[in-house]
Structure 1
Amino acid sequence: MTASTSLVRATLAASLCLLPLQSGLAKEAKESRPGVYRGYSEERFSEWQKTSQYVAMSDGVKLAVDIYRPAVDGRAVDEKFPVVWIHTPYRRAYTDAKGNLVNPLEQLNLMPLLDHGYVLAAVDTRGRGASFGARRGFQDRTEARDAYEMTEWFASQPWSTGAIGVAGCSYLGGTTWHAATVMSPHLKAIAPGCTDFDKYGFVSRGGTTAQFNTRPENPGQDYGQGVVPVASDTDGKLAAAAIAEHVKGTPMAELWAGMRYRDDVSPQLGVPFWRESSVATYAKEIERSGVGIFIWGNWLDEGSFEATLAYNNLSNPRKLWMGEWGHCIVGDFPMATEMLRFFDHFLKKIDNGWQREPPIYYRTINAPAGQEWSSTDRWPLANARNKTLHLAGGASPGIAGQLTTKRIGSAVANDKFVVNYDPKCSEKVDLYFLMWPCVVDKHGLSYATPPLTSDTHIAGHPVADLWISADQNDVDLFVYLEDITPSGDVSIVTHGRLRASHRGEQRPPYRDFMGLPYHRGERGDAQPLVPGTPARMRLDLLPTSTIVKAGHRLRLTVAGSDPRQRSRNVKFDPPPTISIHSDREHASQLMLPIVGEFSEEVRGE
């Protein structure tokens, strides 16, 4: 272990809130709660030993594996430990452009587990990194079966207790879920972060495939350039041979683009792939597996709805953690501590109170200092009440209409805009992998409240209930709920999207869809617009827990495109004209889940 590694591990250990025991002093008092863990788990080790090798799957394809074991004086300890592993398509270890070695286990806050008596492992998925084969499809059943075989392989090793956990975020969160769908007998716990539960509902939310999933393949990240070969591959020839096989895999963007509807058969794979790749398809298998589940995510991330959906539709011992940050970011929260608490409970059977705590722990954006975190036993919150705000009309591109609790509909009122397919972000951002939309001013139509007279807590899933018409038989709607400061700065609180032809509502296939409109998105559900005729579109925005400060205004912006749309097949030609109706017969409105009071009246009036 190098000096730089020692420094990293010292920093991570500090985040664990675990005080070293001093000779002659009594053991510290036990304490276990989110982010805090003392007195339950002994920090026995300060070194680790890494090995790497290939492991052959039942069909002969070899996967590259890195294994980290606790060590003393440079040698791996001859004991059995629980194993926590990750299944990554982004290289289990690689050298970045500056020549630095990147270890995804460190990025995922897992390395401190070694100090507490765990074995860690990282596996390149089939067709990625230094593993052989070609990826048939994004998180297909082949990848899930590989996860089964790797889990059982780890359980059979002489240094393993047979208690296995899987963790990961983003794509790795998905591989974590899929590892549980195949019911490996030795898999006891999973920790999926910032990922999806319903694949179609995530990638093609509202029928619009317009997110990061449309990005082109990246030669480094996706095919394996820069990956560290396994130890026996001293000249890198095996890794090079593996990478040569990767280009035969199914390109992600083309895969999604070939299936516009949920029940479409993939032209590349010849199967209804949305169903195959969706974790929700295998919910009963996950429940039968009995694995403990720690679901974590963030409000400012595309996967926020999927985290709440998964939590509400599984019966396993489980928790939901929601932070206020972006994709796979944990901010100042000591996630290493939480991973240790979770895996200690399920892999070491330590009674640290994990299951006796409230199952949901979430952070509120803009909360007063010291009041950011809250616990609850259900989501949406039992004390949230819907407040209806009406779009009062009078909007035009660059000029906001009214968003008010008072309905001010005239006999005939509609606002129009022409869709701009080249919207620009107000700030400089990298659109290649943008997981949260950027603010685009003077784009579409906006409706704003007067300054709020008191802090307003929005907690739950806002729903936009809009009446629209267009001069074509289909359009996309992108809806943003924004917070405007007194100085005019704008931030996006939450957002949603829906293609007009997907506006039909069907019965959800879930035990609990949280009372939200469900748009199944099958080919037979399509309802083209009649040009010029108003149609109702109800769409839920991603969940949030955000306090909008007194003096700020809320703004609802409706557009027909988003800067993150790369897939040009979503363009309608010519750009359509969209009307938003707010007359007496067609009341466009916004339902906000509010905890406490809401007041839109201007101070002093």
Structure 2
Amino acid sequence: MRYVTELPFETTVEDHWIPLADGTRLAARVWRPVDPTPVPAILEYLPYRLSDWTAPRDAQRHPYYAGHGYASVRVDIRGSGNSDGHQDDEYSPTELADGVAVVEWLAAQEWCSGKVGMFGISWGGFNALQVAALAPEALAAIVTVCSTDDRYDNDVHYTGGSVLAVDMHAWAATMLAFCSRPPDPAVVGDRWKEQWLDRLERTEPFVHTWLDHQTRDDYWRHGSVIEDYSAIKAAVLAVGGWNDPYRDTVLRLVAAGDATADGDRALGGPVRGIVGPWSHQYPDRGLPPGPSIGFLQETLRWWDQFLKDEDTGALDEPALRAWVTESVPPATVYDELPGRWVGEERWPSPHVRPTVLPFAGAPGGTDDVDDAAVATVLRTTAPLVTHLPARPGPASGGPAAPAVVPPSCLVASPQHTGIDAGRFFPFGNDADLPPDQREEDGRSVCFDSPPLTQRLEILGRARVRLRLSCAGDKGQVVARLCDVGPDGSSTLVTRGVLNLSAREGRDRVVPWEPGATHDVTFELSGVGYALAPGHRLRLALSSAYWPWVWPQPGGAALAVAPAGSSLELPLHDGAAPGGHPVVTFEEPEQAPPLGVVYPEDADQRPERRVVRDVAADEWLLEVDPRYGGTRIYPDGLEFTEDALERYWIGRDPLSARTRSDWSVRLRRPGATPSDLAWDASVVTRSEISCDAEFFHTDDEVVARDGEDVVFERRWRRSIRRTAG
């Protein structure tokens, strides 16, 4: 990392209140050149408190952009940080309308040239896409990082039509704690407490709304730009990481920006995509897994091209620049992954061939694979070999499953299958990524190839087609693609989920007729990965995946018929002559750090801990998300937060339950060391449990000013299980 102190423009930083039509004021911070010549503005718009929580990250990039001739602007959405108003959900129509108003306000300032860009990661990236779809005239370009175009099937609430238990719970609990934090009296003055109490009175747990909408209805279509890509007129640079759950959005956006035969594009403006090996982080921060890139320089090329009308060569880059990881042993963290960058001039790429691999037991076998390259790579391994673990049958009892069950394979996974799934949102922490998958594979039905004789490179989204029957009217199937080394270690490559009731579309519930057989097809998340010679490709199927996926009532077993089932791989010809432009990036550079101090925590608990109660036959997963701990800012503000997530499951799928506890404290010293000018704290508790008919939610907030409790409230709701 290179910290840049000498930049082309001398800069200044100012705090502003941005007025909205209804009288609400949004808190904003503007870094811009001292030179009065108008410059383009770049907006980052999100709810994570510019005065403290994102201040260290903001200091890395906003001064950098300002020093290169931009007004770089950070705004807290209404009801968050020091902004007025109330926040009642993610990406509400009001929030997006406010975003348009902010763009228009920026364009009208005397220090702005009239052209505006938007950028952001996660929530900020979502807002960049969604505000762009509203097409404010001044918005010429966006950079969206680790964001989604599909709020239902590629966000933190549902996956494959199933409730995404791990983040439906964790993120709702996080937002309850975040929405309950007070504004800062150093910014808003004496009205801070009145504003805080009003904010608390208006707070409602987001989980109520999310569980009220268990299929892809109009609630989820709102803000999902996949519904109408053509609404986006701004130039789009989409960036993601293979270890981030939103990476498929980059692939879809690049495909939507590719010209069709008649010259039309789904996206209204130019689009380019970059997918690296990264977690849910900006790719210049140097957090695992790397390698990191000169992301700020790359985005400057984008801004200069579309906000300053300079030809920077940004549009000469391949449509998609993607990292391909080489075979690695399983680990929960990698400082850097081995691999290489590839460039694809179009996406879908002519260098990627969807190739069907039938399961053993399908008619014909290798002779049915007409792709010579695949036959050469896999030789006689195209039909996958079936393996079943020797283990007890379903929870209701029954004989042990034999090692191989032709002509169908029983999939009746223990409910704690998924305990080694890793974190849904890896942030670069030591325990984020999935460990060795051998134990998970032992709880699943596995289809293996013989050892590969040549390197096998995958780029894009694999697809699974299964001919299966289900013993009940509800069920789900999870597919994991793994790289099995010569020593038997199993590295997770990618995975996918299907709620069987969503097999005909995420917008409807179609019960399964018990015992009936259907063909179902679903995609796995995108990946760039190359398996080494001597390794085996493994497809593992399970009927449970806790705590990622909330279990269905009954825990019905599945029977998969190899005949009629297959795996379709997006095989990439990495050696295509002249087909792959050279892809290089500069080394990362940033503005100097803010100077925040992070005291060491001598009693820090494990990031991820699995506990098995043998007598009760219950499993507990404890997760410390490690969002930040304690930090002390240059002005003396001490911000401390602590969170612990817990997930329990037994033999019965109805035993699933979750709990998240948060505490947040903000303290600022007064005139003497023993005096506190400000001391506010929030403690929250969030729980979800279930029975066959309902989800039960239980949430609580306690807020204190010093030692005095100033607010306390509890919410309990039972929400009918319609699809989840």
TM-score calculated relative to the size of structure 1: 0.76
Correspondence for 2:153 among 171, 180, 201: 201
Deviation at 1:53, TM superposition (A): 3.2
1:421 paired to 2:415: yes
SS at match of 1:202: coil
Change (3 A) 1:465 1:219: closer
| Correspondence 1:320-469 to 2 at 5 A | 320-330=273-283, 331=290, 332-366=292-326, 372-392=340-360, 404-406=381-383, 413-423=407-417, 425-426=419-420, 439=437, 440-469=440-469
Counterpart among 55, 80, 94 of residue 102 in structure 1: 55
Contact 2:126 2:144 in 1 (8 A): yes
Residue 84 of structure 1: CA displacement? 0.8
Q: Match for residue 514 of structure 2?
A: 531
- The residue identity in structure 2 corresponding to 1:522 is D
From the superposition, tell whether residues 452 and 367 of structure 1 become closer, same or farther in structure 2 (CA, over 3 Å): closer
Letter in 2 for 1:576: A
- The reply to whether residue 123 of structure 1 matches residue 84 of structure 2 is no
1:300-315 aligned at under 5 Å gives the runs: 300-313=243-256, 314-315=267-268
Structure 2: how far apart are the matches of 1:220 and 1:250?
Answer: 8
| Inter-CA distance 256–103: structure 2 relative to 1 (3 Å threshold) | same
Q: Distance in 1 between matches of 2:186 and 2:133?
A: 29
| Alignment-mate amino acid for residue 279 of structure 1 | V
Does the alignment pair 1:11 with 2:38? no
Structure 2, gaps ≥5 residues long: 257-266, 284-289, 329-336, 363-379, 387-403, 576-724
CA shift in 2, pair 1:50/1:464, >3 Å: same
Q: Per-residue deviation at 1:56?
A: 2.4
CA contact (8 A) 2:543 2:557 kept: no
- Could you tell me which amino acid in structure 1 is paired with residue 2 of structure 2? T
User: How much does 1:92 deviate?
Assistant: 1.9
Report whether the alignment pairs 1:58 with 2:38: no
- Measured after TM superposition, the shift of residue 296 of structure 1 is 0.9
Counterpart residue number, 1:589 = 566
- CA RMSD for the aligned pairs? 3.2
Cα distance in 2 for residues equivalent to 1:62 and 1:128: 11
**SS at structure 2 position matched to 1:94:** coil
Report the alpha carbon displacement of residue 456 of structure 1 after superposing the two structures with TM.
0.7
Which amino acid counterpart does residue 223 of structure 1 have in structure 2? C
Q: 1:360 to 1:230 in 2, by over 3 A?
A: farther
In the alignment, structure 1 residue 138 sits paired with structure 2 residue 118 = no
Change (3 A) 1:429 1:205: closer
Whether 1:86 aligns to 2:44 is yes
2:523 alignment partner in structure 1: 540
Q: Distance in 2 between matches of 1:145 and 1:257?
A: 25
Deviation at 1:168, TM superposition (A): 0.5
User: Could you tell me how far 1:280 is from its partner in structure 2?
Assistant: 2.5
Counterpart Cα distance in 2 of 1:431 and 1:86: 21
Give the distance between the partners of 2:540 and 2:88, measured in 1 at CA: 39
Letter in 1 for 2:506: G
> Is the partner of 2:501 in helix, strand or coil?
helix
The answer to whether the Cα contact below 8 Å between 1:420 and 1:575 also exists between their aligned partners in 2 is no
**CA distance 1:459–1:482, shift in 2 (3 Å):** same
The CA distance in 1 between the partners of 2:148 and 2:131, in whole Å, is: 14
8 Å CA contact retained: 1:358, 1:375: yes
Three-state SS of the structure 2 residue aligned to 1:164 is strand
Aligned length: 506
Higher mean C-alpha displacement, 49-58 vs 344-353 = 49-58
The reply to whether residue 578 of structure 1 matches residue 558 of structure 2 is: yes
Residue by residue over 1:68-123, the C-alpha shift from the partner in whole angstroms, topping out at 9 and shown as x without a partner, is 223xxxxx44332211111112222315xxxxx8333246x444212211111111
TM-score normalised according to structure 2 size: 0.64
Aligned residue for 1:451, secondary structure, equals coil
The letter for the 1-side match of 2:235 is: G
Deviation at 1:356, TM superposition (A): 2.9
* Residues 453 and 340 of structure 1: CA distance in aligned 2, closer, same or farther (over 3 Å): same
Q: Specify the SS of the correspondent of 1:379.
A: coil
In 2: Cα distance, 1:311 partner to 1:240 partner: 47
1:173-322, aligned counterparts within 5 Å?
173-203=125-155, 204-210=158-164, 212-215=167-170, 216-218=172-174, 222-223=178-179, 225=181, 231=187, 233-234=188-189, 237-238=191-192, 241-242=195-196, 244-245=198-199, 248-263=202-217, 272-286=218-232, 290-313=233-256, 314-322=267-275
Alpha-carbon distance between aligned partners in 1 of 2:426 and 2:235, rounded to the nearest angstrom: 35
What is the CA–CA distance in structure 1 between the aligned matches of 2:502 and 2:203, rounded to whole Å? 31
The whole-number CA distance in structure 1 between the counterparts of 2:87 and 2:175 is: 14
Aligned to 2:473: 473
Label 1:555 to 1:367 Cα distance change in 2 as closer, same or farther (>3 A). Answer: closer
Distance 1:494 1:429, change over 3 A: closer
1:412 deviates by: 5.0
Say if 1:127 and 1:243, in contact at 8 Å, map to a contact too. no
Contact in 2 for aligned 1:92/1:104 (Cα 8 Å):
no
Distance 2:489 2:197 in 1: 47
Shift of 1:319: 0.7
Partner SS, residue 115 of structure 2: strand
Give me the identity figure in percent. Answer: 24
Residues 327, 483 of structure 2: 8 Å contact kept: no
Pairing 1:162-181 to 2, within 5 Å after superposition: 162-181=114-133
- CA offset digits 1:472-499 (Å, max 9, x no partner): 1121111111112223332221111111
User: How much does 1:404 deviate?
Assistant: 4.1
- 2:382 alignment partner AA: T
- Using the alignment, how far apart are the partners of 1:367 and 1:448 within structure 2? 16
CA contact (8 A) 2:323 2:342 kept: yes
C-alpha distance 334-223 of structure 1, shift in aligned 2 (>3 A): same
The alignment partner of 2:537 has SS state of: strand
Who is 1:522 aligned against?
507
After alignment, is 493-502 or 354-363 more displaced? Answer: 354-363
* Paired amino acid for 1:322: V
Residue 514 (structure 1) aligns with: none
Where does residue 540 of structure 2 map in the other structure?
557
- Structure 2 distance, partners of 1:423, 1:319, is 38
